[in-house]
Structure 1
Amino acid sequence: MMTEQAKVPAIRFAGFTDPWKQRKFSEIVDVCSGRDYKHLDEGPIPVYGTGGYMTSVSEALSHNRDAIGIGRKGTIDKPYLLKAPFWTVDTLFYAIPKSDINLEFALCSFLNVDWKSKDESTGLPSLSKESINETVLSVPNVVEQNHLGNFFADLDRLITLHQRK
């Protein structure tokens, strides 16, 4: 939890004292739109939708940049990591972190937003690029982001390992 006055979390790794900066998601990621894949041949590139993996095709939307997938329609509140190369369908945005942003930190940031509160539809849940881009979050310097991102990635791996047992 952030203390509003100091703009720093109440609990931090030792040695970090710099305040976190309030930034919009548009300042930390580039939100890109998925596209239809049906014109592509079968191949080794995974295609993702809001529910996860769908099929594999011959081309990639992102060849060498990992990203965060977040639903545009349907499951808008379950962001997940996309490892390049990949293709996303038109119901799934993919957000590529900017050069000074740690991917795992960005994923944690996406996971800590109540995206359903930004739902713009009356039926099937819907999220716009503008809603994502205008959402404000607190961001530490890149060294602290790396510590946080590595910590949560290690924790996820440990959880996965225990689930396999």
Structure 2
Amino acid sequence: MTEQAKVPAIRFAGFTDPWEQRKLGELFFESNERSSSMEILSVSVAKGIYPASESDRDTNPGASLVNYKVVHKGDVVYNSMRMWQGAVGSSDYDGIVSPAYVVARPTIELDSTCFGYLLKRPEMLYKYLCDSQGNSKDTQTLKYDRFADIEATMPANLEEQRAISACLESVDHLITLHQRKYDKLVIFKKSMLEKMFPKDGESVPEIRFAGFTDPWEQRELVDIAEIVGGGTPDTNNSNYWDGDIDWYAPAELGNNIYAESSTRKITQAGFDSCSTKMLPADKTILFTSRAGIGNTAILRHSACTNQGFQSLVIGDADVYFVYSMSERIKKWAEEKASGSTFLEISGRQLETMPVNLPSLVEQQAIGSFFSHLDDLITLHQRKLELLQNIKKSLLDKMFA
């Protein structure tokens, strides 16, 4: 039976020729050109190959550049010890790199950006891992002769290579754009959390909404929240599990703002059998109290937890205002925590935490502000995840 020609699942209109299987040594040769007179390039798995910043250069100011390798625009550069992790890319710049890197220069006219993407694909990374030499992953090295012997399936048509590059670069541009927006919002939120809550020893914050002038009152956490622990039904009793009551474990919270549904659920019999308590929806901030103190989430539906929580059931205060204090509560709890096996904060300890409180109306204004800001951060985070998934799919389907 004739072997079916290899073509990708997604292809641009006008390209119909089958792709070729070529050894990388047919497409590139190892360049050992040396110079110290060109600009230093930084090589990053995440960002690619780009001119080094002043801070990058200052990390080793006395280093000799005599043995640095010359890189020309269009060369492929890889880290021989981290190649299997994806430490490979094409350069858009002329410059020099550390001797620790291998510089592969094209032997034929090709779009090196396309190959920068091709060489990062999971199946290629697996080939690098298999062909690397060393006693452990940390010491495995992919020498050029083994790199040259690896086969890759590629479009022979240069215009098709360029079309693939243009598509993937446009997605990367969008990813970078949303990453920057996300990073700016995270930094802005951090700054506002510092300025919209009073500093230690002070009774008013640096920034306030118009109309609020009264000093904040110093209280204890117990004045605005009931601290509630949890419990676990007998794990060997099947009658206690797979019910319809949400039951949370600390690892489930992650970085989520809201807790919508637990991974495991218990029955009413399971609930009655242990010390766990039912926590009200939209009034409870789950707070992990051990082995990772201070992860928080606002409970969306009534639920209970295991003993790894000291949750805050909010009384006469704005829930999102208190949630916005999460980092402050976490820092205080970590300082007060104790334990020989693992650090833990008790409910009684948490109750005594001093907190500064404005009027309920000002709390609501602050809570609403940070709720809106968190929504924007989540929006950009989701867009980022969507774009990254799109890129992953394109990398899978645009190469044979």
TM-score of the superposition, structure 2-length normalised? 0.38
Give secondary structure in 2 for the equivalent of 1:138: strand
Task: Pick closer, same or farther for the CA change 1:9–1:88 going to 2, 3 Å.
Answer: same
Instruction: Measure how far apart 1:125 and its partner are.
Output: 1.7
Higher strand share: 1
Residue deviations 1:23-56 (CA, integer Å, cap 9, x gap)? 1001010001112145634244332122224312
TM-score of the superposition, structure 1-length normalised? 0.87
Higher relative contact order (CA 8 A, sep 6+): 1
State how far apart, in whole Å, the 2-side matches of 1:150 and 1:58 are.
36
Task: Pick closer, same or farther for the CA change 1:27–1:164 going to 2, 3 Å.
Answer: same
Match of 1:101 in 2: 317
Letter in 2 for 1:81: I
Instruction: Measure how far apart 1:63 and its partner are.
Output: 4.6
Q: Which moved more, 1:87-96 or 1:108-117?
A: 108-117
Residue deviations 1:112-134 (CA, integer Å, cap 9, x gap)? 23121111113312011122111
Higher helix share: 2
Pairs within 5 Å for 1:101-120: 101-113=317-329, 114=331, 115-120=333-338
Indicate which of 54, 70, 78 corresponds to 2:263: 54
State how far apart, in whole Å, the 1-side matches of 2:323 and 2:219 are.
15
Percentage of identical aligned residues: 27
Residue deviations 1:92-141 (CA, integer Å, cap 9, x gap)? 1211011x201111112233231211111133120111221111010011
Give secondary structure in 2 for the equivalent of 1:144: helix
Indicate which of 262, 287, 300 corresponds to 1:70: 287
Q: Which moved more, 1:7-16 or 1:65-74?
A: 65-74
Task: Pick closer, same or farther for the CA change 1:77–1:65 going to 2, 3 Å.
Answer: closer
Instruction: Measure how far apart 1:58 and its partner are.
Output: 4.1
CA contact (8 A) 2:310 2:346 kept: no
Residue deviations 1:42-83 (CA, integer Å, cap 9, x gap)? 244332122224312345712545311112321212222222
Pairs within 5 Å for 1:34-53: 34-37=230-233, 38=235, 40-52=240-252, 53=262
Give secondary structure in 2 for the equivalent of 1:143: helix
CA contact (8 A) 1:102 1:145 kept: yes
Letter in 1 for 2:367: G
Letter in 2 for 1:77: G
Match of 2:359 in 1: 141
Give secondary structure in 2 for the equivalent of 1:9: coil
Give secondary structure in 2 for the equivalent of 1:69: strand
State how far apart, in whole Å, the 2-side matches of 1:65 and 1:80 are.
10
State how far apart, in whole Å, the 2-side matches of 1:104 and 1:151 are.
9
Q: Which moved more, 1:1-10 or 1:82-91?
A: 1-10
Letter in 2 for 1:50: P
Q: Which moved more, 1:53-62 or 1:15-24?
A: 53-62
Give secondary structure in 2 for the equivalent of 1:126: coil
Q: 5+ residue gaps in structure 1?
A: none
